[in-house]
Homo-oligomer: A and B are copies of this chain.
C-alpha cells in the first residue's frame, strides 16, 4: 500500500469512528429520553440527525475519491467497499435512534407508564455492539466480530421478553394499549440497531474470510 493511500484510508477510518461516536451518543440519549423521561434529550437526538446525514455524504465522497485516485485492489478495495456499506448502516442506526426519540415524545402523555427495565439492558447491549463492530472492522478482528454476532441473540431474546411484558400490560389494562404500542415500537427500533451492528460484524468476517479465499485461489493458480 502506498503512503498516500494509507493516509487517506486512515482519514476515512477516523471519520467513520467519529461518526460512530456521535451515533452511539444519539442511542444513549434516545434511551434516556425513553426510559428516564428526559424529553429534552429527545429533541437533541432529532436535531443531531442532519449532521449525521452530512457526515455520511462526506465519508462516501472520501471513499469515491480514494477509489478514483488510488485505484486500490484486493483487501484495500474490499475495505473501501465495506466502509461504503458500514457508513450506510451507521446512518440508518442514527435514523433508528431518532425513531426511539420520537416514541419517547409520544409517551409524554403517559407519564406513569412503566417502560420495562429490560429495555435499558437492550440499549446498553446495542451500544456496545455498535462500538464493538466498528472496532472489529478497523482492527479486522474476526473473533470480536463473532462475539458481536452472538450478542444479537441476547437482544432478540430480551426483545421477546419485553414484548411479553407489554402484551400482559395491554391485556390487563386497555387504557395502556396506546403507550404500550409506543414502547413496543421503541423496543423494535432498538432491536434493529442490534441487527445493523450485526450486519457490520458480518461484513468484517466476510472481509477477512474473502481475503483468505482470494489468497487461496491465487495460491491454487500458482500450483
Binding site for B on A (CB under 8 A): 57, 60, 63-64, 67-68, 71, 73-74, 77-78, 81, 84-85, 88, 163, 166-167, 170-172, 174-175, 177-178, 181, 184-185, 188, 206
Contact = CB atoms under 8 A, between A and B. Distances in A.
Contacts of A64: 77-78, 81
A188 B181 CA distance: 12
Contacts of A85: 84-85, 88
Overall SS of chain A's interface: helix
A207 B163 CA distance: 40
A177 B171 contact: yes
A185 B81 CA distance: 32
A73 B77 contact: no
A102 to B, nearest CB: 12
B68 A73 contact: yes
Contacts of A166: 181
Contacts of A167: 177-178, 181
A88 B86 CA distance: 11
Contacts of A178: 167
